[in-house]
Amino acid sequence: MPIMNDTIQFNVGEHRLALEKALKLAPQDIVMEIREAGLKGRGGAGFPTGTKWLMALSAIADKKFVICNADEGEPGTFKDRVLLDEYTNLVIDGITIGGYAIQAAEAIIYLRAEYKYLHHKLERFLEEKRENNQLGNNILNSGFNFDIKIRLGSGAYVCGEETALIESLEGHRGEARNRPPFPVNTGFMGYPTIVNNVETFASAAIIISKGAEWFREIGISKSYGTKLVSISGDCKKPGVYEVPFGISINDLLKMVQADEAKAVQVGGASGQCIPESQFDRKISFEDLSTGGSVMIFNKSRDMLHILRNFMEFFVEESCGQCSPCRIGNKKLLEGVELIEQGKCSYTYLNELIELGKSMQLASKCGLGQSSPNPFISILTNFENEVFSTR
């Protein structure tokens, strides 16, 4: 199934010439165009893409790498699957444009093992691109040499974190590295590397195709363009939607016909759980930030059951490298069990929330820094249901 309303940016027919256009520009001009557009990373972290590319372009090295992060593991996110499956050309052109912009010769798509069924299709597509001289040596007679290969993951959520992903590519356990140094200086095999989300590359191709100015007209201040959101849970029309930044939760719910919503989880398991009283809040980097996951829970759902599911997820997926994440998530899950049994005191609950805040500060990578989010937000926003009247 394609994107439900791909009318704003993703009407791909318009972007056929993005690559050709890009190769006529100087690499610096592409980076400047992306910077001017104000494109921020679509995977969830929201780092300015132009800044990342500029740092990689200015790094001095004999080799540079582009990595497309297709390890879409955040619960409730499936937009990258749709992009890779149905908008393949846009993604591949975006990666090639990224490679040209930082002057790399090689790219790797890190495809999650769960999407292995897309592997052959993607390989065939890359082969077609090579035959059409849109990949390989001297692309479209521009003198630019670039190729893309695909590497599969093996089922580890943490490998969506860029340094863990690089570790995995280098043949190690997917344990996050200390940052700095950042991958733009010391990335894959020690070479300058940009790691971007699938949607970020697609958006970059769109910006080159339509121009930074056009892009900045869409969305709201500081969050430009559109976002693909994957909507699931209790609604009549789940799927992937393209929405301009600044859309409110209320409008999203109307769009997918969710009439009975009690809570909306924005940003996946590691995101925030929003109650009805906050449904006027907006999807943007400044308010409700999301890598694409929006899950809707209706009035019949038990929020504690949902929280338990999230915490079990984090206990399993924590890589175990740093103790705030390894032990903290276990303690939070045990806390959920105590609440279920009616054995958790109010004092202990507050201690657990404090523990969550410590994990946000002290964990080494994004996993542990964000895994207490559902615990804190569900127990804050739904305290009455989950704790007080239980």
Partner 1 sequence: MLVSEKHGLTLEIEKLAEKYGRTREALLPILQEIQMKHGYISEFAQQEIANFLDIHPVEVYGVVTFYAFLSRKPQGRYIVKLCQTIACDLAGKEAIARAIERELNIKFGETTPDMKFTLEYINCMGMCDQGPALLINDDVYTHLTPHKTIEIIKSYK
Of the pair 271, 335, the CB lying nearest partner 1 is at 271
Among 40, 52, 81, 129, interactor with partner 1 by CB under 8 A? 81
Size of the site for partner 1 (CB under 8 A): 50
For residue 149, the cross-strand partners are 108
Shortest spacing between CB 111 and partner 1, in angstroms: 11
Among 124, 173, 179, 299, interactor with partner 1 by CB under 8 A? 173
Return the closest-CA partner of residue 31 out of 10, 54, 65, 13. Answer: 54
The two tokens of residue 175 are 């344990």
The two tokens of residue 379 are 């127990």
Among 19, 34, 228, 306, interactor with partner 1 by CB under 8 A? 306
Shortest spacing between CB 168 and partner 1, in angstroms: 7
Under the binding rule (CB under 8 A), the answer on residue 83 touching partner 1 is no
Omega of the bond prior to 181 within 30 degrees of 0, cis? yes
Under the binding rule (CB under 8 A), the answer on residue 203 touching partner 1 is no
Of the pair 207, 319, the CB lying nearest partner 1 is at 319
CA distance 148 to 165: 17
Beta-carbon contacts of residue 93 (< 8 Å; ≥ 6 apart): 15, 18, 19, 22, 134, 205
| Sheet of strand 226-233, all strands in order from the earlier edge strand to the far edge | 239-244, 226-233, 293-298, 261-266, 272-275
By CB under 8 A, which span of 70-78, 86-94, 98-106, 329-337 interacts with partner 1?
70-78
Binding to partner 1 (CB under 8 A): which residues in 264-283? Answer: 265, 269
Of the pair 215, 313, the CB lying nearest partner 1 is at 313
The alpha-helical segments, DSSP class H, found in the chain are 18-23, 27-37, 49-58, 79-86, 88-102, 119-131, 162-169, 198-210, 212-216, 249-255, 303-317, 323-340, 346-362, 366-370, 372-381, 383
Q: CB of 245 within 8 A of CB of 284?
A: yes
Between β-strands 239-244 and 226-233, what pairing exists: parallel, antiparallel or unpaired? Answer: antiparallel
Of the pair 247, 263, the CB lying nearest partner 1 is at 263
Under the binding rule (CB under 8 A), the answer on residue 116 touching partner 1 is yes
Among 24, 117, 347, 361, interactor with partner 1 by CB under 8 A? 117
Q: CB of 64 within 8 A of CB of 101?
A: no
Under the binding rule (CB under 8 A), the answer on residue 162 touching partner 1 is no
Under the binding rule (CB under 8 A), the answer on residue 113 touching partner 1 is yes
Among 189, 259, 348, 357, interactor with partner 1 by CB under 8 A? 189
Of the pair 37, 378, the CB lying nearest partner 1 is at 378
Of the pair 170, 286, the CB lying nearest partner 1 is at 170
Of the pair 18, 311, the CB lying nearest partner 1 is at 311
Among 53, 65, 115, 182, interactor with partner 1 by CB under 8 A? 115
DSSP class of residue 388 equals I
Of the pair 210, 330, the CB lying nearest partner 1 is at 330
Site string for partner 1, 4-43 (x = CB under 8 A): ----------------------------------------
Beta-carbon contacts of residue 246 (< 8 Å; ≥ 6 apart): 219, 220, 223, 282, 283, 284
Name the helix (H) or strand (E) containing 224. Answer: strand 223-224
Of the pair 49, 186, the CB lying nearest partner 1 is at 186
DSSP class of residue 190 equals G
Beta-carbon contacts of residue 344 (< 8 Å; ≥ 6 apart): 335, 338, 387
Site string for partner 1, 228-267 (x = CB under 8 A): --xxxxx---xxx------------------------x--
Omega of the bond prior to 324 within 30 degrees of 0, cis? no
- List interacting residues with partner 1 (CB under 8 A): 72-78, 80-81, 112-117, 151-157, 168-174, 189, 230-234, 238-240, 265, 269, 295, 297, 301, 306, 309-310, 313, 316-317, 319
